[in-house]
Structure 1
Amino acid sequence: MWTIEDSVDLYGIEGWGNDYFAINGRGNLAISPRKEVGGSVDVMEIVEGINRSEAIQFPILFRFPQILEDRLEEINGAFLSSIEELEYPGGYRLVFPMKVNQRREVVGYIVEGGRRLKVGMEVGTKAELLAALSLGLDPEALIICNGYKDKDYLNLALSFSEANNIIIVIDIFEEIFDVLRCSKELSATPRLGLRTKLFSRGSGRWEESGGELSKFGLSTAEILESIRILSENGMIDQLKMLHFHIGSQITDIRKIKIAMNEAARIYSKVRKVADVEYFNVGGGLSVDYDGSQTPTSASANYTLQEYSNDVVYTLQRTCDEEQVPCPTIVSESGRAIAAYHSFLAFKVIGKKNSKDGLDVLADDDDPVQIEDMRQALENMDLENYAEFYHDALHYREELFDAFNLGNIGLEERSKGDLLFWRVCQKAATFADADENDSEEFESLKKLLSKKYIGNFSLFQSVPDMWGVQQLFPTMPLHRLGEEPTVRGTIADITCDSDGEIRRFAGEKSDFLALHNLRDDEDYYLGTFLLGAYQDTLGDFHNLLGCVNEVHIIVKDGGWRISKVVEGDDCEKLLRFFNYEPEEGLHEMVERSCVGEEARARVTETIRKALREYSYFKDRYLREESPASGGDGPRS
């Protein structure tokens, strides 16, 4: 008998959920924004409440601001615990890199949730700097200016440096001359940092962004030359930070240790000639997207506490060896802060699979291969399924040859196809019972999986899944006390074959275990850990825009909606791409319609469509065939 624990294992939720996500006794997804401290909420209670109100349509991006606050406190707490345990004499400062998620609501939650911790911001452009300056950060919170910098960027940073804790990091060597020039023109005294380009590299998908070929950073020769130039210009005392970054989503703790050792040694040498206060380890703290706790590209083989322990220990040991003061540690762990706080909930609106659902009637004129295929289907059992499956492959190939030679018609080919897939399905069922996990039958099971159609756009809501094949956990939001008997992948509603979720966390990575659809009930799926990068990388493929957002606060055993952000309607999307729908409306109606009544009706239809959400409103599409019960027509 299927249990909730079976679903926990199947979808790997204990591995990737980080104690924020679980399955409750009702078989529904539950979310605990403060983990064991602040209680949990049944996601389907929220879904049912939204459906009753009829005010918000799916797909919906759910945000849980309290998870952001919890992440800030957990990361800060891990470093403070390491500092206390190892008796490290320096401090720690947490900084959020705005490029991870620039949404005003998200950054606002981080600022408010991290105010007690004096959480700062890392910016990489003029626009991000302007955004950071508008947030009302604590005066002691760091604003770290990275990225390529023109004169306007530098002037902006220098103009606010007196009232804000701004550090301008030299990312490429030539910038030091621009900083000196702009500082002189404005009579400003900047606080500076140097970004070092390490020989060491990270691991995982973004490994190539670190090391000697990285886009940013100074070589050791350029660091020495920069120190000389600052000294000659009387500004060596303004060098306050050494920064390095070996890549996002570092999956292997050994790579972190190696990079830390190299960077700590560089800091120690620089500290002997300059009063450097901050040692900035950059980002890279990994998020375990598949829950495997391995050094694969979607996971990590270390914990947050192990990470902070290694950073603190390595830096302290090196400083002691070099006899230099220990600096304040700064980290920019944006992915680890933001990823968990949001997920996409969407309805399944149909399914597609041409390999089932059709009956085949016998005919005396059928080719011998069709009768052989029928006999294989009827006589297959646990002992002979592999043999009959191989026979069916041979029969099908003979039918294709006969069709290509013009010896049989389309109807006979169709019958052969349908019978072949029936044989395949029965063989796969016996392979499951036989625990046959050979490559041949695993490939067959994948081939037989269904495509459930989800009312969402992969390109808009989960762009990294399409762009860099990153894995994001996806699973049903309910019915988790029932055994899922359907193998499937999830296709979105775009007109692009790449718009499909094909990799999943949990036991079976090539398909998702799903439940049969019911005519009287919506079926909801969720894709999780979307808070980092996905909000700002979204692609308006097929003019499908930003989805509706609902922000949820969990408190005192209940929940409330704290904020609703409406998604894009069709008119907004058209105007974003420089269409003027009202201008062409009158001409289009005049050209297409005869009579005032027809014109008025079509005009209202168009105006209504312009105001509509860009996603589907219907509960679900018809299945492949119009027959009731999904059995399809007879052939």
Structure 2
Amino acid sequence: AYGVENWSAGYFDINSRGNLLVRPAGGDHRYADLKEIVDYLLARHRVQVPLLLRFPQILTSQLRALTSAYQNAIQEYGYTKQHFPLFPMKVNPRREVVEEFLRDAGRCHVGLECGSKAELYAAIAQEQPSNSLLLCNGFKDETFLRTAMLGVQAGKRVVVVVEKLNEMRMLIKLSQEMGLAPEVGLRAKLYSRGSGKWASSGGDSAKFGLTTSEILECLRMLRDAKLEHKLKLLHFHIGSQITDIKRVKNAMKEAARVYSKLRQIDCAIEFVDIGGGLGVDYDGSQTRFDSSVNYTVQEFANDVVYAFKWICEEENVPQPHLVTESGRFMTAYHAIFVTCIRDEIETFADDQPEVNIDADDPLVITELKDLCDSLTSKNYVEYYHDALQLKDELQIQFNLGLVSLEDRAKGDVLFWEICHRALREAEEDSFSDEEFEQLKSSLAQKYLCNFSLFRSAPDSWAIRQLFPIVPIHRLNERLTDYATLVDVTCDSDGKIDRFVDLKDVKHTLELHDWD
């Protein structure tokens, strides 16, 4: 029901007791029982749910999976330069997360990417090897650029990525004024676009980036200021969570051509930053669906390395070092949000009294009663449609004052009883269509969970991000209920009613009785 083996990437499993396990090293014999961890914290440390559990070992494991994929591709294709992974601080700016990645900086050149002044201040304060990069993206005013200069003075290898012509003008002016300059990158606005929710991050209408004519103007400005030797990096980004590997292949070909043409006009660029885009398979379907990807990290790395090797050889230019900003891939698995169910919001047909028909009841009520008593496995679809029509008629008659409040109550009870019976017959018949899926969602239990959606899982509401949701225990027991999850806030949007599934998005989640 939960597809743990499909989306867990080897980090999660279920033991014989039905408890959810985490394997921080990714599939080896070491594991931790999440139920035991939560019970220990509740009993010994007197903490309360909700809890956010972080496993830093998974951060290290994902970083090594990323660097190993690129190293394998470099060796396979005989690529002559190196891979430099950057961690974008906006993905997770927590100190313990950033420092965990930097612990591996000496081994794999991991650096930091910052897109705001606050991130830049924090990045400068971190200890980094001299060969790791500190990349500055995003909107930059004079204060931002002066802070980047301070990073240069502090011995950091700062690369300021220019995204607008005005940024280049300010950077040149400050460099002349302060007598020092950071290394410079140019963000190219590619024609190629990614796929999925963030496809609009790339293409001609992208928010960030320089057009071809603007790139050439930046080169002229650098040469006029005798700073062309500071141009070290070409950057592009075609979108986060790229779902289709074909889009990656096309973008890498275009970017490699842009790089090659710049090298041919004497731009001594050493690095190409391909940005983010390496996706996470949240639902385990391995498809082009928004919450999945149809490739592996190794295939992604192979396509990047191969495109630059092939085109650089064809254009007879030196190969660049490859920089990546795969923050989602590096962090997505390492944190687990745990909460508890506090109560159940009953559906309409729960514990309703039996309806007795009187001689003076309106015809619409007696017809609903007849449908309810006569519904079978052969007619449940037809009778469900009839009940929908009678429900509308009942509401019209009530609005006209033709039926009483008591009659309306009888009609509601009968209607929802018909719905329950029809859905039960459909499930036994293995019948499913959009209409009955909507009915299942309407009749689902609402489990009241102790959390705020807007604080703990805002992406679920804001961008309809799908996350795997699974109980941490009782996974060896039969599932008896369908439910959606609602939070304890007084906002009707505080709910989760979209769940991962191999075939499509589910609008209910299979669960045990909450008692």
Is the deviation greater in 130-139 or in 66-75? Answer: 130-139
Task: Give 3-state SS (helix, strand or coil) of 2:102's partner.
Answer: helix
Q: Is the 1:69–1:114 Cα contact (8 Å) retained in structure 2?
A: no
Q: Does 1:351 align with 2:344?
A: yes
The residue number in structure 1 matching 2:160 is: 168
The residue number in structure 2 matching 1:330 is: 323
**1:369, CA displacement in angstroms?**
4.1
- Amino acid paired to 1:51: L
Matched residues, percent identical? 44
1:460-480 CA-partner distances (Å, limit 9, x unpaired): 111111111121121222221
**1:114, CA displacement in angstroms?**
4.4
CA distance in 2, matches of 1:395, 1:225: 71
**1:394, CA displacement in angstroms?**
4.1
Select which of 18, 21, 24 maps to 1:33: 24
Task: Give 3-state SS (helix, strand or coil) of 2:332's partner.
Answer: helix
- Amino acid paired to 1:267: Y
The residue number in structure 2 matching 1:382 is: 377
**1:105, CA displacement in angstroms?**
2.1
1:582-615 CA-partner distances (Å, limit 9, x unpaired): xxxxxxxxxxxxxxxxxxxxxxxxxxxxxxxxxx
The residue number in structure 1 matching 2:237 is: 245
Q: Does 1:435 align with 2:427?
A: no
- What is the root-mean-square deviation in Å for CA atoms of aligned residues? 1.8
**Inter-CA distance 343–407: structure 2 relative to 1 (3 Å threshold):** same
Select which of 419, 424, 445 maps to 1:424: 419
Q: Does 1:95 align with 2:86?
A: yes
The residue number in structure 2 matching 1:575 is: none
The residue number in structure 2 matching 1:360 is: 354
The residue number in structure 1 matching 2:9 is: 18
**1:33, CA displacement in angstroms?**
1.0
1:518-567 CA-partner distances (Å, limit 9, x unpaired): 1xxxxxxxxxxxxxxxxxxxxxxxxxxxxxxxxxxxxxxxxxxxxxxxxx
Q: Is the 2:447–2:484 Cα contact (8 Å) retained in structure 1?
A: yes
CA distance in 2, matches of 1:18, 1:366: 64
Q: Which blocks of at least 5 consecutive residues in structure 1 are unaligned?
A: 1-9, 519-635
Q: Does 1:462 align with 2:454?
A: no
Is the deviation greater in 135-144 or in 439-448? Answer: 439-448
CA distance in 1, matches of 2:381, 2:269: 70
Select which of 257, 270, 277 maps to 2:270: 277
**1:512, CA displacement in angstroms?**
0.9
The residue number in structure 2 matching 1:55 is: 46
**1:51, CA displacement in angstroms?**
2.3
Task: Give 3-state SS (helix, strand or coil) of 2:103's partner.
Answer: helix
The residue number in structure 1 matching 2:176 is: 184
Is the deviation greater in 411-420 or in 250-259? Answer: 411-420
CA distance in 2, matches of 1:488, 1:193: 50
Q: Does 1:157 align with 2:160?
A: no
**1:159, CA displacement in angstroms?**
2.6
Q: Does 1:111 align with 2:102?
A: yes
The residue number in structure 2 matching 1:128 is: 119
**1:63, CA displacement in angstroms?**
0.8
Alignment coverage as a number of residue pairs:
509
TM-score (norm 1): 0.77
CA distance in 2, matches of 1:212, 1:401: 53
Q: Does 1:230 align with 2:222?
A: yes
The residue number in structure 1 matching 2:513 is: 516
The residue number in structure 2 matching 1:598 is: none
Q: Is the 1:142–1:165 Cα contact (8 Å) retained in structure 2?
A: yes
Q: Is the 1:100–1:335 Cα contact (8 Å) retained in structure 2?
A: yes
CA distance in 2, matches of 1:438, 1:353: 25
**1:23, CA displacement in angstroms?**
2.0
CA distance in 1, matches of 2:220, 2:395: 77
Task: Give 3-state SS (helix, strand or coil) of 1:428's partner.
Answer: helix
Q: Is the 2:82–2:321 Cα contact (8 Å) retained in structure 1?
A: yes
The residue number in structure 2 matching 1:266 is: 258
Q: Is the 1:202–1:256 Cα contact (8 Å) retained in structure 2?
A: yes
**1:71, CA displacement in angstroms?**
0.8
CA distance in 2, matches of 1:124, 1:141: 17
CA distance in 1, matches of 2:118, 2:275: 21
The residue number in structure 1 matching 2:498 is: 503
The residue number in structure 2 matching 1:532 is: none
CA distance in 2, matches of 1:402, 1:330: 68
The residue number in structure 2 matching 1:288 is: 281
**1:431, CA displacement in angstroms?**
0.5
The residue number in structure 1 matching 2:308 is: 315
Task: Give 3-state SS (helix, strand or coil) of 1:481's partner.
Answer: coil
CA distance in 1, matches of 2:405, 2:420: 23
Q: Is the 1:68–1:113 Cα contact (8 Å) retained in structure 2?
A: no
**Inter-CA distance 189–354: structure 2 relative to 1 (3 Å threshold):** closer
Task: Give 3-state SS (helix, strand or coil) of 1:62's partner.
Answer: strand
The residue number in structure 2 matching 1:524 is: none
**1:379, CA displacement in angstroms?**
3.6
Task: Give 3-state SS (helix, strand or coil) of 1:100's partner.
Answer: coil
Task: Give 3-state SS (helix, strand or coil) of 2:66's partner.
Answer: helix
- Amino acid paired to 1:362: N
